[in-house]
A = this chain, B = another copy of it.
């Protein structure tokens, strides 16, 4: 006998978000932050993630204003850039991942760093005012912080710092949170990754649920 199940995408979203709001502790977030946190929990399938989510003051507003003004979104991995729901973007914003650029492997060797970190060097010409989303590589987030130590480096409008894993993820996010070179959002600790990062971008891009 064929399985019966909810087949209406809009109903699935409604029920999912209602479940998250019933179960998660979202009291400390303002309404814009709450919408972002709910989507992050949704992408992770994990109530409790909210305990690890931090937004610096003005992050949601700055990030959204940047997208509304047409800023590009720079992503450290194709899994992030491919996940962004294009129709949600307020200004047909460019979503850019430079990891596969042919110059990156040589650049990485020259820098003695990972390809994920080297790829950020290609962001400089359009980095000013952009939304940056690091959802995979701690080395990318560390390299971004080092780039931003140079006062001549262009400043993004906001940074989503959600690399995942066991080596450098926690440390790079703690460093971003301590530095706060621009408004930022992090998931403290080991949790993070492309799905959570994409969820944050999609929530910033549009309030539509």
Contact = CB atoms under 8 A, between A and B. Distances in A.
Contact of A166 (B16, B78, B194): B16
> DSSP majority for the A interface?
helix
Interface residues of A, number: 50
A45 B8 CA distance: 31
A102 interface: no
A112 B145 CA distance: 48
Given A82-B79, A194-B79, A168 B45 contact: no
Contacts of A46: 190-191
Contacts of A45: 164-166, 169, 189-193
Interface string A24-40: 00000000000000000
A15 to B, nearest CB: 5
A167 interface: yes
Nearest to A150: B2
7 contacts: A5-B171, A6-B139, A12-B114, A12-B139, A15-B167, A44-B191, A79-B82
